[in-house]
Structure 1
Amino acid sequence: MANLLPAILPEGRVSQRVNCDGADTFASLWKKVFSELRYTRKKQEIGFGAESKTETITFDQHLPENITPSSVRQALAFAASMAKLIIVFDEFDRLTDKKRTF
């Protein structure tokens, strides 16, 4: 079902599916999510008549090294300002230490 989301979602919505495994933690799951979410921006080159170039950036670049619930909330707010998000954690039952994960 999660694989079908991109085909059936209305325009302006983005879905991201992440597979969980037994070694995942809170931080590693969110790192997976944000490393797959991308956006583009135009960057103006320096100089008269310089052209702008488009660069692709992953959202994980906005996360601190130590990922916390607060940093995830801030990153989600930033991502949601660009598109409506649907995040699917697939194979959630494979997580072995649910206290450490959520």
Structure 2
Amino acid sequence: MIQINGTIRLGRSIDAATRKAIVEMVRASRAEDGCIDYAFASDLADPDTLILFERWRDQAALDAHGKSDHMAAFQEFMGANPPEASDLRIYDTDEGQPLR
């Protein structure tokens, strides 16, 4: 399983256009074959920062995601509205186990 975690510091409030771009990206990504989980969240301690969490079945699924039309549209939006900073990490992991 491939996992991507990290933060995107927007340096601005999440406006309606940014929220729309994120929601469209999340919905389309979750519908992709091989997507286990795909989520953005706001950092409650820093509302200008987004937290990204992705899990993919394998590298092939992640590669297909990277070539998708919705990824191209999201990258175009983010290019026109660049974040202040980002720190995203990719991990090759197992499926883990429930925390009890």
Smaller-chain TM-score bracket:
0.3 to 0.5
- TM-score, structure 1 as length reference: 0.32
Asked which structure has the greater CA Rg, the reply is 1
- For normalisation by structure 2, the TM-score amounts to 0.33
Higher helix share: 1
